[in-house]
Chain A
Amino acid sequence: MDLRQALQMVSRSDAGMVRSHNEDAVFFNVAQGMAILADGMGGYNAGEVASGMATNLLGTELEKAFQKMGPHQLDASGKLYSHSVLEAEIARANTAIYQAAQSQPQYAGMGTTLVVALFYDNMMTVAHIGDSRLYRLRGDEFHAVTRDHSLLQEQIDSGMITAEEARHSQNKNLVTRALGVDPAVEPEIRDYDTMPGDVYLLCSDGLNDMVEDEEIALTLQALSANLDLAATQLIQTANDSGGRDNVSVVLVRIAREYPAARGWWARLLQWFK
């Protein structure tokens, strides 16, 4: 099913004002309703290698998998196909990055965060690892859908530190999960309903560390009619505030409903479209 009529997507990625390398990587496919963002880490150019491997491998493999079967269908074990594909392909990408890091000394210790959003059947499945985020703007409400896998988030959850205090913490850069650093990884996979008019933002921490949530919300609200401009503006705001890290965004706007085609009549209808 082609989602180009239902979804709009744009992405931007920038090295920022301080770093010489861009270790972020993004991938999206509007027709198949998928967006992927990764923020790599590791010395020299290893971070770029890790995030690039993650987005390329997952992008290609997910595209292939969903051509065979719709993400909304159930697999042999009764599980949503989207979930089983995400689990399997994230595990494969993890192994590939981990093995590259093990076998090549210049890549030792590399890894990457990951956030993947799949849109199908009026819903969204989000898989994430680490501190790259997915936010949702619905009407006036703007908040993060994902919860970081980071030391800071664990401290907030345990009540040790408030969200306000967290802004001043010096432990911002420590993630507790990453893709490719261990033989196995556990992604967090969740489903959400989507509504026409929603705007989703996938971003690396270079955005949310530099720009307040309210400022991001204001930008998306003001510029949701022009996603390209909204994305450019977000990157610019991060860079104007110092741009100390790579900054990447993928924006997804739900233009209209996109129920999955079920049964012969739906397929017929789809065929005539």
Chain B
Amino acid sequence: MAAKLILSMDGLVLKEIPLTKERTTIGRKPHNDIQIDNLAISGEHSVIVTILNDSFLEDLNSTNGTYVNGQPIKKHFLQNNDVVELGKYKLKYINEAPSQTTAADFEKTMVLRPDLMKKTAEQTAAKSPSMSDTQVGMKAVDTHTGMTPPPAAPAVAPPPPSQAVPMGAIQILTGANAGKELELTKNLTTLGKPGVQVAVITRRPHGYFITHVEGANMPVVNGAVLDAHPRELKDHDVIELAGVKMEFFLKG
């Protein structure tokens, strides 16, 4: 689905503009793709360059400036729901990722092939004026933009599943550091003495796990010796490692 802009003023939607062209110009003069006839808008105010699924907004040294989400910008990589402000006018940028069910197929790696690009470039040449190299200083643009855009893929990896498990911590029970507490804030925490005996505690979406890393002796949890496999840690499990006893607990 092509990205689009929704033009509004004082909360009133004026127009929806799909970003189908490589360059979409915005300004007061009539030759602009998006003409906004208002004195606060410069003749050539700004331009949006669209490359496949990504769009970039650039201010063309306008008198009153171009703002995105309240911040003045010279050049900006547009993200879904960004609000571009020119004078009293607002342009909301919408670039929705496809639904999750189909996302996997869209994400598949594709090759940008010169012959394919040439063909589609010829077909689209009439409607899409090619962008010159110097405008954005990008070598790849001319050769690639002619290609039919593949379906949009979701922008970023989803954030790791929210921390459903409470924060885990280790309290040292014996030895010189007895009483000390260590919060397991990282996804990976190693315990023990390198070269002698080391175990790692990993934080996963569904809990904490301890695994043997190195050394002839395996860690002991609640009196039972571990094998090479990870073992899930439960609240108040007691771990023995390199001669030191420690307790794992979950912070409420």
Chain A residues within 8 Å of B, Cβ to Cβ: 18-19, 39, 41, 47, 111, 113, 130-131, 151, 154-155, 158-161, 165, 167-178, 181-182, 205, 209-210, 215, 218-219, 222-223, 225-226, 229, 233, 236-237, 240-242, 244-245
Contacts and interface: CB of A to CB of B under 8 A. Distances in A.
Interface string B101-115: 001101111111111
A215 B187 contact: yes
B242 to A, nearest CB: 14
B190 A222 contact: yes
15 contacts: A18-B104, A19-B104, A39-B109, A131-B109, A158-B140, A161-B77, A169-B155, A170-B95, A170-B153, A172-B107, A182-B114, A210-B157, A222-B190, A229-B211, A241-B160
Interface in B191-218: 194, 198, 200, 202, 204-205, 211-214
Contacts of A154: 138-140
Contacts of A169: 53-54, 77, 155
B56 A160 contact: yes
B109 A205 contact: yes
B113 A171 contact: no
Given A154-B139, A182-B113, A222-B188, A168 B198 contact: no
B202 A233 contact: yes
A218 B79 contact: no
A218 B97 contact: no
Interface of B: 51-54, 56, 77, 79, 95, 97, 103-104, 106-115, 136-140, 144, 150, 152-158, 160-161, 186-190, 194, 198, 200, 202, 204-205, 211-214
Contact of B136 (A160, A172, A242, A244): A160
Given A154-B139, A168-B79, A225-B214, A178 B156 contact: no
A173 B151 CA distance: 11
Given A240-B204, A244-B107, A151 B137 contact: no
Contacts of B54: 161, 169-171
A118 to B, nearest CB: 25
* 4 tightest A-B CB contacts, nearest first: A170-B53, A225-B214, A158-B138, A154-B140
A155 B50 CA distance: 13
A168 B156 contact: yes
A229 B138 contact: no
Given A218-B188, A237-B187, A244 B104 contact: yes
Nearest to B79: A168
B249 to A, nearest CB: 22
Given A175-B111, A218-B188, A244-B103, A167 B156 contact: yes
A223 B200 contact: yes
Contacts of A158: 136-140
